[in-house]
């Protein structure tokens, strides 16, 4: 009896692993804050509204009216989230205004199982941690043409205080250094002219999209 149950469990595990590995490869978009990741993603979603999926994050914050567990977020406790992070179940986690947030590996796999290309807009730490999983992602670095232009775009975006701007530009240096290492990314898109940068991103994902249709 126990053997049968174990065998069944093993079969189920193998099946789900096959489904995920046969599914569309997740695409990781990384790059310094202000590089243009959101801008490029918005264009991609507008052109291919059904091809992509976003993973549902975990959060320790309380649900707002109308929010549903498993739709906007997986609402959880700090204790459980910390436990999951320690167990290596999360590809990234962070603290924002007193609450913890995280992206679990499982949440990415759920998107793949639904047959969608999971898009991950993450930082360098997230890139490193996705590399340590079997998610078989493709890694794209969005690079601003120059550091000066990155600063200008961040300033013109009008979303940052002087302090948060400094912090983002400091972090950007590390992002550039990591991107310069051989093998850190599969593709680099230089976001100088937006239309050209989008054409480059489109070409990267087009093959995956055509396989889905
Ligand atoms: N090719 C481009 N030419 C000029 N401006 C651009 C270009 N790409 C993006 N921008 C502008 O630069 C600013 C930063 O872009 P965006 O918000 O997409 O960056 P991001 O990488 O998503 O940043 P964050 O990680 O902080 O969310 C935005 O105001 C955007 O409109």
Q: How many CB atoms lie within 10 A of CB 16?
A: 12
Sign of the alpha-carbon torsion through 207, 209, 211, 213: negative
Query: What is the spatial distance between Cα 132 and Cα 143, in angstroms, rounded to a whole number?
Result: 23
In degrees and rounded to multiples of 5, residue 135 shows phi and psi of -75, -10
Q: Which helix (H) or strand (E) holds 86?
A: helix 78-86
The rounded Å distance from CA 63 to ligand 1 centre is 29
Residue nearest (by alpha carbon) to ligand 1 atom 2: 194
Instruction: Please confirm, yes or no, whether 153 is among the known catalytic residues.
Output: no
Q: Does residue 151's CB lie within 6 angstroms of at least one atom of ligand 1?
A: no
Model ipTM value? 0.97
Average pLDDT, the chain: 91
Instruction: Please confirm, yes or no, whether 61 is among the known catalytic residues.
Output: no
The one catalytic residue in 71, 155, 157, 166 is: 157
Domain 27-211 CATH (choose: 3.40.30.160, 3.30.505.10, 3.40.50.1110, 3.40.50.300): 3.40.50.300
Best CA proximity match to 72, nearest among 94, 89, 57, 51: 57
Pocket test for ligand 1, best of 31, 32, 36, 195 (most atoms within 8 A of CB): 36
Supply 192's token pair. 């100088």
**For residue range 9-42, what is the model confidence (pLDDT) as tens digits?**
333 444 444 467 789 999 999 999 999 999 999 9
**For residue range 149-200, what is the model confidence (pLDDT) as tens digits?**
999 999 999 999 999 999 999 999 999 999 999 999 999 999 999 999 999 9
Instruction: Please confirm, yes or no, whether 157 is among the known catalytic residues.
Output: yes
**For residue range 79-91, what is the model confidence (pLDDT) as tens digits?**
999 999 999 999 9
Burial class (CB in 10 A: 0-12, 13-18, 19+), 52: buried
């Amino acid at each position: 009896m126990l053997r049968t149950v174990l065998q069944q469990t093993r079969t189920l595990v193998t099946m789900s692993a096959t489904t995920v590995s046969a599914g569309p490869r997740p695409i990781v978009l990384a790059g310094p804050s202000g590089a243009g990741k959101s801008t490029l993603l918005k264009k991609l979603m507008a052109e291919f509204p059904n091809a992509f999926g976003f993973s549902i994050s975990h959060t320790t914050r309380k649900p707002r009216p109308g929010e549903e567990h498993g739709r906007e977020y997986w609402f959880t406790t700090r204790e459980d989230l910390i436990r999951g992070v320690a167990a290596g179940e999360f590809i990234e986690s962070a603290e924002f205004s007193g609450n913890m947030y995280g992206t679990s590996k499982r949440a990415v796999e759920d998107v793949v199982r639904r047959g969608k290309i999971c898009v991950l807009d993450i930082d360098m730490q997230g890139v490193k941690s996705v590399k340590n999983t079997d998610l078989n992602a493709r890694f794209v670095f969005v690079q601003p043409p120059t550091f000066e232009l990155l600063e200008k775009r961040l300033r013109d975006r009008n979303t940052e205080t002087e302090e948060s701007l400094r912090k983002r530009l400091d972090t950007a240096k590390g992002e550039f250094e990591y991107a310069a290492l051989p093998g850190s990314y599969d593709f680099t898109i230089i976001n100088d002219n937006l239309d050209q940068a989008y054409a480059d991103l489109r070409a990267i994902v087009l093959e995956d999209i055509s396989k889905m249709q």
